[in-house]
Amino acid sequence: MPVRIIGCGNLDRGDDAAGVMVARRLRVLGIDADEQSGESVSLMDSWQGFETVIVVDALCSDHAPGEVRIWDACASPLPKAALQCSTHALGLYEAVELARTLDRLPDKLLIYGIEGKQFAPGARPSAEVEKAVESVAQHIVELLQGLCCKNSVNESVLD
Domains and CATH numbers, the chain: 3-158 (3.40.50.1450)
CA-wise closest residue to 142 among 96, 98, 110 = 110
> How confident is the model over 142-157, as pLDDT tens digits?
999 887 554 444 445 5
What is the pLDDT tens value at each position of the chain, 159 positions in all? 589 999 999 999 999 999 999 999 999 999 999 999 878 888 889 999 999 999 999 988 888 999 999 999 999 888 776 566 655 556 788 889 899 999 999 999 999 999 999 999 999 999 999 999 999 999 999 999 887 554 444 445 555
Alpha helices in the chain (DSSP H): 18-28, 40-47, 92-101, 127-145
Phi and psi torsions of 100, nearest 5°: -60, -45
pLDDT digits (tens, 9 = 90+) for 33-50: 999 987 888 888 999 999
